């Protein structure tokens, strides 16, 4: 069991992030038990990974020195943010404090990541969409807990997220179009759906009078990213299961949140037909995302109760 904990891959945390996000969507459909069970499971996984960091710091340091695993370490604070939005019903004070602390820790992680991987020069081989987990993952706080944050902090997170996405996405599109992604990082390509979805959901949460133009641009980015993933699905599933499959989970789940919020916005703005179409797209996303996250969770369960060996 100790060996399993030591070899626990950081993508497990990212997978529970996606599952927890999807469970919030199912709660909106009236399925409270799904949310409870998923949040408890996410709590257990988070505690296990924190235990790994405490018991095997050298292993964690080794992971953090590598660009792609380091970018995924942001998933720890992101899961914490989602769990704070869940536990606030029972302990609002502590949940708010932990949420704010998670935002601050994530901000420090961003600075460390920039220092290690940007200021000294960007290596194109490891410049992959997983960077958005670090750059835009902090916006989970404004999607699930905007009301729990100090207003200035929520606005700062939104501005940062919109700016870093605008700056980074053109370079990322160019990189994906002109340079092959190594097989080990293949599934990180799906993460392109996450930042635009986080930006759209956060903007609609915080803006008092959202701009139709900006919402339209962000939703176009969501649609384009979703289409990119769907086209790539045969490639993603053409290889045996590995922890990297986690790259498909949270982006697909947060994409549903973005589409649902966009549908409500368009309908409220008098664009009923557009709102209806977007709502139906969200339904397709729920259908597809449930299958993908279920498959990835099953893959990790097989790893846990199978050989117990670390996957590549």
Q: What is the spatial distance between Cα 114 and Cα 110, in angstroms, rounded to a whole number?
A: 6
Residue 169 is predicted with a pLDDT of 98
Q: Choose among 7, 72, 20, 8: nearest CA to 293.
A: 20
Tokens of 133: 């987990």
d(CA 260, CA 279): 6
> How many CA atoms does the CB half-sphere of 126 hold within 13 Å?
15
Classify the C-alpha dihedral 151-155-160-165 as positive or negative: positive
248: Cβ–Cβ under 8 A, 6 or more apart, which residues?
Answer: 18, 187, 190, 229, 236, 292, 293, 296
Nearest alpha carbon to residue 190 among 203, 200, 176: 176
Digitized pLDDT (tens) for each residue of the chain, 312 residues in all: 788 899 899 999 999 999 999 999 999 999 999 999 999 999 999 999 999 999 999 999 999 999 999 999 999 999 999 999 999 999 999 999 999 999 999 999 999 999 999 998 899 999 999 999 999 999 999 999 999 999 999 999 999 999 999 999 999 999 999 999 999 899 999 999 999 999 999 999 999 999 999 999 999 999 999 999 999 999 999 999 999 999 999 999 999 999 999 999 999 999 999 999 999 999 999 999 999 999 999 999 998 887 544 444
Q: Is 182 in contact with 131 (CB distance < 8 Å)?
A: no
The pair phi, psi for residue 184, each rounded to 5°, is -65, -25
Query: Per CATH, the architecture of 2-305 is what?
Result: Alpha/alpha barrel (1.50)
Please tell me the predicted confidence (pLDDT) of residue 307.
Answer: 53
- In sequence order, which residues have a C-beta less than 8 Å from that of residue 13 and are 6 or more positions away? 45, 46, 49, 72, 75, 76, 79
Give the model's pLDDT for residue 310. Answer: 45
pLDDT at 45: 97
Annotated domain spans of the chain: 2-305
Neighbours of 57 (CB within 10 A): 10
**Number of Cβ within a 10 Å radius of residue 216:** 15
Give the Cα separation of 215 and 224 in Å (integer): 14
């Amino acid at each position: 069991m100790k060996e399993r904990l030591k070899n626990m891959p950081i993508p497990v945390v990212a997978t529970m992030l996606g599952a927890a996000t999807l469970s919030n969507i199912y709660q909106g459909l009236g399925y409270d038990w799904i949310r409870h069970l998923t949040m408890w499971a996410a709590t257990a996984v988070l505690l296990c990974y924190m235990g790994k960091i405490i018991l095997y710091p050298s292993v964690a340091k080794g992971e953090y020195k590598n660009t792609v695993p380091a970018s995924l370490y942001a998933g720890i604070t992101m899961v914490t943010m989602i769990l704070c939005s869940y536990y606030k019903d029972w302990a609002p004070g502590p949940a708010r404090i932990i949420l704010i602390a998670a935002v601050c820790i994530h901000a420090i992680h961003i600075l460390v990541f920039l220092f290690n991987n940007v200021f000294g020069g960007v290596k194109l081989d490891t410049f992959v969409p997983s960077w958005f987990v670090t750059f835009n993952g902090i916006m989970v706080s404004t999607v699930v807990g905007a009301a729990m944050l100090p207003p200035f902090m929520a606005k700062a997170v939104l501005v940062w997220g919109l700016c870093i996405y605008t700056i980074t996405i053109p370079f990322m599109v160019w990189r994906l179009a002109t340079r092959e992604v190594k097989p080990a990082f293949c599934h990180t390509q799906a993460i392109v759906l996450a930042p635009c979805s986080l930006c759209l959901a956060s903007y609609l949460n915080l803006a008092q009078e959202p701009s139709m133009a900006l919402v339209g641009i962000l939703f176009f980015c969501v649609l384009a990213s979703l289409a990119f993933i769907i086209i790539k699905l045969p490639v993603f599933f053409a290889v045996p299961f590995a922890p990297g499959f986690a790259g498909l989970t949270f982006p697909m789940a947060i994409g549903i949140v973005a589409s649902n919020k966009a549908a409500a916005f368009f309908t409220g703005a008098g664009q009923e037909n557009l709102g209806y179409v977007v709502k139906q797209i969200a339904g397709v996303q729920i259908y597809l995302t449930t299958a993908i996250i279920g498959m990835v969770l099953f893959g990790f369960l097989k790893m846990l109760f199978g050989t117990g060996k670390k996957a590549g």
